[in-house]
Chain A
Amino acid sequence: MISLKNLPNQESGEVTILFLRRYWLDLAGAFFFTLAMVIVPFALYGAIRLGHLTILEQPFWGPALTLLLGCYMLVVAVIAMAQITDYFLDIWIVTNERVINIEQQGLFNRTVSELRLNQVQDITSETNGFLETFLTYGNVYIQTAGERERFVFKDIDNPDDVKLTLSKLVADCKRRRGDASLEQEEQQTNHAIKP
């Protein structure tokens, strides 16, 4: 397991400031989806009983439908677990030195990337739509001067507060370590000028 007190490649004096996950609404959505999937066979069973259909008493179809229901329940359980795993393993850790992005894609794909705070050039928070505004969750985009794609904290709680904290941390880090985003930008400009 990953410990916040013992992060990969942790430097001395590096402290975890923020530990972020997607907003709980994602997990609630998965929960209600699973609940709906569980209700479907019981609703069908009720409809069959109400319609006085004899299919459940048939010597072949009774057991066959029992097994089908069993398979369905197992698959629903697995889908629910996959959704929980996906939610649980998508995390963002912000320390006073860097941002670590750990993302689970499916069951076998994991991406772990990190970004030093003094490379950050721009931080944008975004809240779209009624629900995100009302429940105060949204995205935070972290842009560097490099060619790498920007970091996205997707569907996190209080994106504006996170942006504010990140901005302070970036400013602190740049004071201590120097602004690496300017160096990156210079390198890119030089690279572009050279034939």
Chain B
Amino acid sequence: MDTNDKNYNLSVKLDKIHLRNPTMLASGILGISQSIFERLYLENIGAIVTKSISVKPMKGYPNPTVIPLGGGSYLNAVGLSNPGVDAFSRELSNNKIVPIFISLVGSSEKEFSKMVKAFDALNILGYEINLSCPHVSKMGMEVGDDPEAVNKIVKTVRMNTNKPISVKVGVGSIDVVELARVAVDAGADIITAINTLRAMSIDIETMMPILSNRIGGLSGNAIKPIGIRCVYEISKKLEVPVIGCGGVSSWKDVVEYMIAGASAVQIGSVLGSSGPRIFNEITTGLKKYVEKKQLKNIGEIIGISHKY
């Protein structure tokens, strides 16, 4: 890490890597274009998580796929649309400076091993395994709700890479801490918590569900307290770095997640109202907080709430 970086007091350690600051792009948001990643990097982002990539390209569901609900909350059932492993390898092939985690989604060990083999030579930080998308059959949460499948998939990815692996867990039918434990036992280095929560919205005029898939995932302000609780419980019970995710819209939310136990924090839905400049705004706010609290490094606040 470059200690001359003006953000050195915001730098955080995640497994064996350092990020210049704890802000990350959450998977599923703006995650398909290297040019956009470079723009976010100029906006001072700590790291990027790409859209979840599958072996074959996926078109996702028809629109409506994203619904702003008001009050900073969103409902989506995009359906894991992504360009597939081949096109996405080409997309990232010239990446020089952007710290990128590739999010992976699939149904079998074979698919995960194929993807990691294709991506591992790229200039990337590591992987995030999506075991928690709540609205696509045979993928995401349908895998995450099966501890044996989680164990096998994480072990398969582990066998194929030395890079850090994060497993993204959500609120499904298995207790989030138990699911995280299975992932860590199978070789995960980091846990990302949480994904969106299964939710629905119906229009009362037409009396019809709005999402084409009817059911989707809730994100944004409404889910932040649930994310905070999950990060708190996982980081308190397991010896693993946790990345917080869910309803972060300001530097204050990042601080709250870190105090709950997060080493880094992902940001997503808020881009729907603020645009990419939010990362600059948040890191500026974090620096002021570090100064005000007279911290040498923001990492000092990670999990500090566990004391009380």
Partners in one complex: no
Interface residues of A (CB under 8 A from B): none
